[in-house]
Structure 1
Amino acid sequence: MSSWNKYFILKSSTASRIIKPSTAGLTGAVACGLIQPSIFPIKTALGVTGFKLAEISIKNLLAACLSYQGWLTHPKSAKTKIWAFCLKLLQYFYRSETFSYQKLLPKQPLPPLDVTLDKWADVSQYFVTEEEYKSTRDAIESFRKNEGPKLQKYLYKRFKTLDNWVSNYWIQAAYLSNRNSLAANSNYSISFKLTPERTPDYVARAACVVTQMLRYNDYMMENRIKPVMLMDMVPLCMAGYRYLYGTCRVPGEDIDSVVKDSSSSHIVVIRLGHYFKLDCYITCNNIKRRLTAYEMKQQLQKIIEKAESLGTANRAVASLTAQNRSVWAKDRKALSVLNKETLDDIESSLFVLNLDTYQPKTPDDLSRSILIGDGFNRWFDKGFNLVIYDNGLGGSNVEHSFIDAWVYTTLGEFLLCNEYYENGDVVKLESDGQTSLQPPVELVWELDDHMVNRVESAQLEMKTIIENFDLRSFLAPYSKGQIKKFKLSPDGYIQMMLQLAYNRLHKHTPKTYEPATSRLFLLGRTETIHPASQYSRNFVLAMDDKNSNDKERIHFLKEAIKYQGQFRLDATKGDGCDRHLFALYCASRELGMDIPLIFQDKVSYYCNILKL
């Protein structure tokens, strides 16, 4: 088995809802997503065999409905209205659990080779000179006649035999085989607001947020998270939600792998560079339950007191995870000789909690700190690091390879909707304080001389990363509501403003990456939107042309946004060109072919350098 196919994981994203249990009986079963209200009487009337046949028929009809894409292109047509009625009717009789729609989702379509090449020829012309573009056109036509058909045939076989013809290529080539540091290159951050209804008591907030995260994980394990749906009708792929908890990216010398511990019941807490294992579930009267917020606060307080009695750690072991992936793979192998159990505890944990003593003062400060930390406090390999600061602010650092931002945003929204305090502290239940809790366990690193040198070297590298990283955030003078009043797409509008700003600074059109979701399809992730076009260029030039008037500028802006919107729509329904070209390239490497010229010209070079 080649390294391309050795590691494969599932993906996905966006907002979800919880199926809340009722008090008892049939109503409670219905609310938990175990029985749909409409199914119970039908099952009684049809009998078991008849019900099974009806269920199969409903699934087949749902799958057929979900393959229809006319709602994207003709949302007001009679056909779309009939489709919407049928889809809602079928969903009324269908059991809607977290992953119940997965096998009903259509496969991501494989675009025709000629369509992709024509689209690539169109988007390529804006990044290079006329002479370079002529070379690109020659390479495209050569590929169309020579290597292209063979590689397209190979991808078609993947389309017929795999759930998704591009997903494992994407995860392996875009993420797991990338050797760059995860810090500031791949991981992303999300910040949590501190509003009056939250609490400045950082221990209380940490306890509340952690218990809510555990609650969300319990719902996931019980299939009680409702599938994410567009317009409350069209389900999106939920595969990525399987990898929110208990996951870790393990470095390899050539390619990383992703591991998941589905039985994990602990978190690892980092405070002042010291590590602690905290069991989040206890067994009382033969019943396993998660810690309450009050109990969690007690445990976290013990960790804080112990860490502060020790002072700041001498070695920033976490900085090892910010190194080049191949370098970290070798260091991890050496580190595990004396610290295998500690590494196992970190990598198998549900997530890592960072209790940072730093107190960010501005949004820039907060985002920057969450994203890169200080070398002592971010274990970049983990699925996510939850960060809570001493002033009550917080957020998360998320490893990108198996959790897209849309997936984690759902969890973030759940936390913000379910944080609850009484008088600025966690809620205390009547039963709190009656159960004896085992204290958290300190995880102590044993470092020989070689590993001390390696950690010190990694610390210096991390210091360089921190010094070279810049981040600024700005509050816009108006919001998307104002943009919509002018009947413009907020997304397209912002993209054109980025084009204008960049051109004013650098006097040329940049390669711009904007993702569209591919989650309408099984195991879909993203496709590239190309905002840069002749229309965007006309707008940019008109804005600084003294001979142009506002009427012309508005016209060019609308035309540019219209083009960007159509490209976004095409990308969403599987008609983009970048992922197809990417898969053709991967296929050429997998088949041992010489790299086709289309992947060696100036356009390919520039398109791998993302400036916006």
Structure 2
Amino acid sequence: MAEAHQAVAFQFTVTPDGIDLQLSHEALKQICLSGLHSWKKKFIRFKNGILTGVFPASPSSWLIVVVGVMSSTYTKVDPSLGMIARISRTLGTTGRLSTQTKNVVSNVLFGTGLWVALIVTMRYSLKVLLSYHGWMFAEHGKVSRSTKIWMAMVKVFSGRKPMLYSFQTSLPRLPVPTIKDTVSRYLDSVKPLMKEEEFQRMTALAQDFAINLGPRLQWYLKLKSWWATNYVSDWWEEYIYLRGRGPLMVNSNYYAMDLLYVTPTHIQAARAGNAIHAILLYRRKLDREEIKPIRVLGTIPLCSAQWERLFNTSRIPGEETDTIQHLKDSRHVVVYHRGRYFKVWLYHSGRLLKPRELEQQMQRILDDPSEPQPGEAKLAALTAADRVPWAKCRQAYFGHGKNKQSLDAVEKAAFFVTLDETEQGYRKEDPEASLDSYAKSLLHGQCLDRWFDKSITFIAFKNGKTGMNAEHSWADAPIVAHLWEYVLATDVFALGYTEDGHCKGDTNSSIPYPTRLQWDIPEECQEVMETSLSSARLLASDVDMNSFPFHTFGKGLIKKCQTSPDAFIQLALQLAHYKDMGKFCLTYEASMTRLFREGRTETVRSCTTESCNFVLAMEDPSQTVEQRLKLFKLASEKHQHMYRLSMTGAGIDRHLFCLYVVSKYLAVDSPFLKEVLSEPWRLSTSQTPHQQIELFDLERNPHHVSGGGGFGPVADDGYGVSYIIVGGNYIHFHISSKFSSPETDSHRFGKHLREAMSDILALFKLTANSKK
């Protein structure tokens, strides 16, 4: 086989005349090119480290400062106030330097010190500026003069060409809210959900906590906030994600959809080739830190730390807690097809494989007639079910020999690829069933054809549709969404396809064939796989998914209501839930805290007294339109205020979570915290942000819209709702629940949500054709 020859760098035999060495020049060439590639990456990282280290200045600014200092001394002006002379006298004690050399060295040393001082001053000034969040609470559309001056100063101190990680050391730390504020906001959030007696009992528990145990726990939390970069993120990753012993599939992992109405080619291998190449182009930009940092209003930077583990990352199972394994680089992917695992190298002759070459590799896998080895086809089911059986199996059966080598190939791959044997995607003749099937396939597949531990699993379906499944512990959905937007745009608009649907370019017969991974899985392990597969399929079959596009109206018309599109949709979700259940529930909306260093998420408790009043008014036929509009405005303003509080570090839930963790470390019991942390989120919601609008010209290409992504239900008797707002006229919703719950029905909720959206818009007497 071709790959066997390529794998051998040299052969030797022992002869009577000595050792006969037979060199493989092609293999040595590949080794040399691989080494050059590795050193090139090290140099780029070193260069970027310097550029980030001196930000917001630049290396060239050092020369300007030093030359300026030296020039000033020749004009008899001393900018150092005597410091240069002192440095010169100190150097003169050595007796080895001439007068001219001492003057030059003194000027260079002082200039360098001045340059470093300027960098530190600018960086600290930027951190102080970024600690101000008053701009966020200003009335929408009205920017005060002081805010304009503040934004101008942020721009001045932000440098000219920041790289992805340039702002990291200038971002402020996440502040710890006061116990009093958190308790007060918590009681305000649960008041509409409790009966009077229950609320009085909870108020007494909260006040007792705020006076007695709370301040003690807060002291430890304050201490951590001074010492750690972020007082929440490490505990959030460990206790919410890595210590969870239940399945990642459905419960934690989430998915991203392809373009809804456009399939650029129906050739599975070609679509995979272009998409994989686009992902690798993105990874190269990430390695070089060429991805522009996300900036709110084009000025205020968000934390970029979560990008670090996007690639070459896998979650490793443990009996008590999992760990995250991240490599600086990986030169291969692992591809799953029809129960077999293949290792595919991403480089040849020192360069990335081109789209047509990747298509060729994918087609070779599709054409491979070999059968799975015993147990191989169901191996990934271990990653789909409970963590403890997988951890025990991994330790017992994958610690040595070919199993270890093959598992290492999977876990150390850049990412995982599935060539799915099914056809998925939007079908015009049956839109509802096709999208539901597509969403479920991306969320859990067959429970054995996605490696749920990998940071990302790219999926290419038989009919050319694609998608992605992502593990959640290492980062949040906006990071994967940013990658996915780039991939979809690059695939269609930059790379493209030939008229017959293949990737552009030529095949390359010199590229070695993909390598089959070898397994020797004992029967005992195969029995565990069967058990894991059965429980995973039971979980997957219970998911009731409803994914649908909402075309009636979009962001454009909502903005005519003079309200935030997110607030509008959140109030529609509250109305839809009341229509569906006849009651209110604790509602989770994810917001981000990336205005702070290493920030992740915070919870917006969308069910408020104001939103409940509005919903009740909508369901009360005696209420007038004017009364409903007034209540809508109050509810919308309250929601926007709470969202801003969450983004600026004044949220409720992460503070209470960390206080609870401290109480566990101190082995003290808090009835208040225990009750708060056990409350179920029966409506869990999240908006998928559309971040790179410039990549898609929706006026010229109105059908190039993505369905965004979704996730499984958080509560057994609740709903998970995800939505993406694309352009001015399109919103896509994903609703999940469980068939086993007699109270929920995803399609019923979807029907109520469409009604709720239209009912609210009707208050404003607007239609899709409104001009005013």
Provide the TM-score with structure 1 as the length reference.
0.89
Per-residue CA shift, 1:542-585, capped at 9, x if unaligned? 11212112221222122111111110011111111111011000
Q: 2:150 aligns with which of 68, 83, 93?
A: 83
Q: Once the 2 structures are TM-superposed, how far is the Cα of residue 332 of structure 1 from its aligned partner?
A: 2.2
Equivalent-residue separation in structure 2 for 1:396 and 1:98 (angstroms): 24
Matched length: 572
Preserved contact between residue 483 and residue 490 of structure 1 (Cα < 8 Å): yes
Q: 1:355 aligns with which of 402, 415, 419?
A: 419
Per-residue CA shift, 1:50-102, capped at 9, x if unaligned? 54443333222222221221221236222211111111122245x51111111
Per-residue CA shift, 1:214-263, capped at 9, x if unaligned? 11111211221121111111111111100100111111111111111213
Q: 1:122 aligns with which of 162, 166, 188?
A: 188
> Bigger shift: 315-324 or 331-340?
331-340
Preserved contact between residue 33 and residue 224 of structure 1 (Cα < 8 Å): no
Taking a change above 3 Å as real, the CA distance of residues 313 and 513 of structure 1, as seen in their structure-2 partners, is farther
Q: Once the 2 structures are TM-superposed, how far is the Cα of residue 36 of structure 1 from its aligned partner?
A: 10
State the partner residue of 1:240: 306
Give the AA of the match of 1:70: G
State the partner residue of 1:426: 503
- 3-state SS of the aligned residue for 1:487? coil
State the partner residue of 1:515: 590
Taking a change above 3 Å as real, the CA distance of residues 411 and 571 of structure 1, as seen in their structure-2 partners, is same
Equivalent-residue separation in structure 1 for 2:118 and 2:203 (angstroms): 54
- 3-state SS of the aligned residue for 2:359? helix
1:250-261 alignment runs, 5 A limit: 250-261=316-327
Preserved contact between residue 384 and residue 533 of structure 2 (Cα < 8 Å): no
Name the % identity: 31
State the partner residue of 2:539: 465
1:401-416 alignment runs, 5 A limit: 401-416=473-488
Give the AA of the match of 1:104: S
Equivalent-residue separation in structure 1 for 2:169 and 2:247 (angstroms): 36
Provide the TM-score with structure 2 as the length reference.
0.71
Q: 1:46 aligns with which of 45, 65, 72?
A: 65
Give the AA of the match of 1:588: S
Taking a change above 3 Å as real, the CA distance of residues 40 and 134 of structure 1, as seen in their structure-2 partners, is closer
1:141-540 alignment runs, 5 A limit: 141-193=207-259, 196=262, 198-282=264-348, 284=349, 288-306=350-368, 308-310=369-371, 315-337=377-399, 339-361=403-425, 362-419=434-491, 420-423=495-498, 424-428=501-505, 433=508, 436-476=510-550, 477-540=552-615
Q: Structure 1, unaligned stretches of length 5 or more?
A: 1-28
Preserved contact between residue 267 and residue 278 of structure 1 (Cα < 8 Å): yes
Equivalent-residue separation in structure 1 for 2:261 and 2:269 (angstroms): 16
Higher relative contact order (CA 8 A, sep 6+): 1
CA RMSD of aligned residues (A): 2.4
Give the AA of the match of 1:156: K
Give the AA of the match of 2:679: Y
Per-residue CA shift, 1:521-558, capped at 9, x if unaligned? 00101111011111111111111212112221222122
> Bigger shift: 357-366 or 41-50?
41-50
Q: Structure 2, unaligned stretches of length 5 or more?
A: 1-46, 67-110, 426-433, 684-717, 720-772
- 3-state SS of the aligned residue for 1:310? coil
Preserved contact between residue 346 and residue 352 of structure 2 (Cα < 8 Å): yes
- 3-state SS of the aligned residue for 1:588? helix
> Bigger shift: 403-412 or 293-302?
293-302
Equivalent-residue separation in structure 1 for 2:441 and 2:308 (angstroms): 28
If you compute each CA radius of gyration, which structure gives the higher value, 1 or 2?
A: 2
Q: Once the 2 structures are TM-superposed, how far is the Cα of residue 509 of structure 1 from its aligned partner?
A: 0.9
Taking a change above 3 Å as real, the CA distance of residues 40 and 323 of structure 1, as seen in their structure-2 partners, is closer
- 3-state SS of the aligned residue for 2:380? helix
Equivalent-residue separation in structure 1 for 2:331 and 2:351 (angstroms): 10
Question: Does 1:582 pair with 2:657?
Answer: yes
Q: Once the 2 structures are TM-superposed, how far is the Cα of residue 147 of structure 1 from its aligned partner?
A: 0.8
Q: 1:556 aligns with which of 597, 613, 631?
A: 631
Per-residue CA shift, 1:182-211, capped at 9, x if unaligned? 111100000111655722222111011111
Preserved contact between residue 515 and residue 528 of structure 1 (Cα < 8 Å): yes
State the partner residue of 1:60: 124
Taking a change above 3 Å as real, the CA distance of residues 46 and 600 of structure 1, as seen in their structure-2 partners, is closer
Equivalent-residue separation in structure 2 for 1:135 and 1:40 (angstroms): 62
Preserved contact between residue 543 and residue 553 of structure 1 (Cα < 8 Å): yes
State the partner residue of 2:754: none
Preserved contact between residue 189 and residue 397 of structure 1 (Cα < 8 Å): yes
- 3-state SS of the aligned residue for 1:278? strand
Equivalent-residue separation in structure 1 for 2:471 and 2:624 (angstroms): 47
Preserved contact between residue 273 and residue 355 of structure 2 (Cα < 8 Å): yes
Q: Once the 2 structures are TM-superposed, how far is the Cα of residue 334 of structure 1 from its aligned partner?
A: 2.7
Preserved contact between residue 252 and residue 326 of structure 1 (Cα < 8 Å): yes
